Structure 1
């Protein structure tokens, strides 16, 4: 931040806002001069842009200067002029018009006040700028149109080094239309993250996105409520993999019900969720209707079969005898026309359960 201030000249707009804020509290005119001694803010618009010779002396001698008798042909007025220091660097001059000895102490106080207000505004501008840059970077990664070389350059410019990971949080309940809704306190969480050089965050597509390297902070650490839906990707040093993760996350924001919620009971497949998120809405409706008649026990059977290596393992997962599991499998075939002992049929039924989750009609979380 100090480097930004050294590169950027003192803003006349910022200085004028500060003058307009302070001036009503005192009975004297206030001038703010830039590092060359030119008046950039004043209650008298006619003096803006003119050279202040007293300010030039302050800059040359790096000390306070009292102007008792202005020289002929100048716009100077009697008063006290103080150096304006920001981060220890002389950035300009603050002058208070009046009998010099009477306003000398006041000028010191005013200069300190101007310094504080300008510093605060710079910090607010810097936070706003980082927030905008983070949003633009994350949006570019997920757009699907950014070239890998450009993405790598933008990551480097943001100070983000590999391995990169991407995390996503949404509110537990989607918006009325079914799209993602950012969790409460998402904006404040993003602002805090963007104040640290190691990560970037933005609220985008109805979710809080977090981009960075290293371990992903927990929901509590970000100040988010415990009921958020959340997913994160493993770290990668390949920028195209990161871009793929970003595009996938953007698709998942269309159907936040696909994201695992708090206390998710079983395995969750990002690949299945992403595949379902890309399907047309009518296809989701058709798929969800196919498994709608299934009971909770039958749905859990599908989940167990999809995440197990054998019928015995699946039976143990749902705590039933193998024969009971086979009875459920037969009942699922009678209801859906699909025999989940066949890998292709199991994949279809499993995706149908994810389709239900996407539409918000699932009785259990997809697994």
Structure 2
């Protein structure tokens, strides 16, 4: 589709090049009306030579002997875009002298029109992606229309899908007041690859991707200071919406996320998701359960729970002897009245650790 030639762009070109030329420059629309000129009195008048050039798609040369009806000696060259004439450039002067100059002006205007059209296309695509992802995260979209929107657009994502959210650990304040995440290796990958649908809002960079395409994203997150939350693999729009809402709850409470990991999988964040859904008073009650533990005891407890109760793994991670680990766990049970070796009581301790991060 050909882009229309507006008077603002045309006058901008005329104002920019006029000081370097000794010839009057006019820019006409496809109907032959002058829409920009160094001679402001001519704007809005009809130029017969330009109308002929627009109609034929060929340059119209006016010799000095043929000057008439306000047409001065010079050339009128059509501006073509996508095979259609969208305007005409006219330069006054000896035709042999001004023809090369007119060609340069035509090329300049065509490049500007193509750039503006590309920018408009990019802005439209970004707006569509933002609307799609916002509907996913905030809910309220019928599955049928959602699946149609996922399949169309660029790139097409027919499924299965994964939704991801990228957070900047250095940002302060609640998500709604943080600057959107766009910089760094993750943002660069998203911008240049063309494989993702993405948008920044609510303090995160949201990325929709094909389920098999998470490897490069994870690698980019590992090389940056960002945190990548990876949603579940979803074969249907209902599960995708559910995964998106869960990610939205975690993005709203970034302080409860594990502090050391660059890539976090939603399937491993059940305790964090549970705390995110709790009333603040309930989370505070859980945090109080471990309030009297020292930093060393909390680190030991977290490592023990993460290792699934494996003493050898905890010893390896903490560089501590097995007997030391056992002594610390016994002391944790004494202080909290909850035994980390008991599965049900370990769950309460896990939730307490998460709640304490807030």
Q: Considering the TM-score relative to the shorter chain, is it more than 0.5?
A: yes
- CA–CA distance in structure 2, aligned partners of residues 152 and 178 of structure 1: 28
- CA–CA distance in structure 2, aligned partners of residues 106 and 157 of structure 1: 44
Aligned with residue 254 of structure 1, among 228, 235, 252:
252
Per-residue deviation, residues 140-190 of structure 1 (Å, max 9, x unmatched)? 211122222232232233233212222222122340568785687539965
- CA–CA distance in structure 1, aligned partners of residues 345 and 230 of structure 2: 29
Match of 2:204 in 1: 207
- CA–CA distance in structure 2, aligned partners of residues 267 and 54 of structure 1: 67
Is this contact kept in 2: 1:190–1:203, CA < 8 A?
Answer: no
Match of 1:80 in 2: 75
Closer/same/farther in 2, CA of residues 295 and 203 from structure 1, 3 Å limit: same
- Offset, 1:209: 1.7
- Offset, 1:205: 1.4
- Offset, 1:116: 2.1
- Offset, 1:137: 2.0
Closer/same/farther in 2, CA of residues 56 and 237 from structure 1, 3 Å limit: farther
Match of 2:275 in 1: 276
Matched, 1:120 2:115: yes
Is this contact kept in 2: 1:85–1:92, CA < 8 A?
Answer: yes
For structure 1, the residue ranges without an aligned partner over 5 or more in a row are: 1-5, 360-367
Matched, 1:33 2:32: no
Matched, 1:356 2:356: yes
Bigger mean CA deviation after superposition, 326-335 or 249-258 = 326-335
Bigger mean CA deviation after superposition, 288-297 or 299-308 = 299-308
Match of 1:337 in 2: 337
Bigger mean CA deviation after superposition, 227-236 or 45-54 = 45-54
For structure 2, the residue ranges without an aligned partner over 5 or more in a row are: none
Aligned with residue 54 of structure 1, among 49, 59, 63:
49
Per-residue deviation, residues 60-92 of structure 1 (Å, max 9, x unmatched)? 4332222344554xx655432223234665443
More helix by percentage: 2
Matched, 1:316 2:312: yes
Aligned with residue 235 of structure 2, among 234, 237, 257:
237
Matched, 1:134 2:133: no
Structure 2 length-normalised TM? 0.79
Is this contact kept in 1: 2:181–2:204, CA < 8 A?
Answer: no
Matched, 1:173 2:189: no
SS of 2:234's partner is: coil
Closer/same/farther in 2, CA of residues 322 and 189 from structure 1, 3 Å limit: closer
Closer/same/farther in 2, CA of residues 297 and 187 from structure 1, 3 Å limit: closer
- CA–CA distance in structure 1, aligned partners of residues 322 and 170 of structure 2: 37
Match of 2:289 in 1: 290
Closer/same/farther in 2, CA of residues 177 and 130 from structure 1, 3 Å limit: closer
Is this contact kept in 1: 2:3–2:81, CA < 8 A?
Answer: no
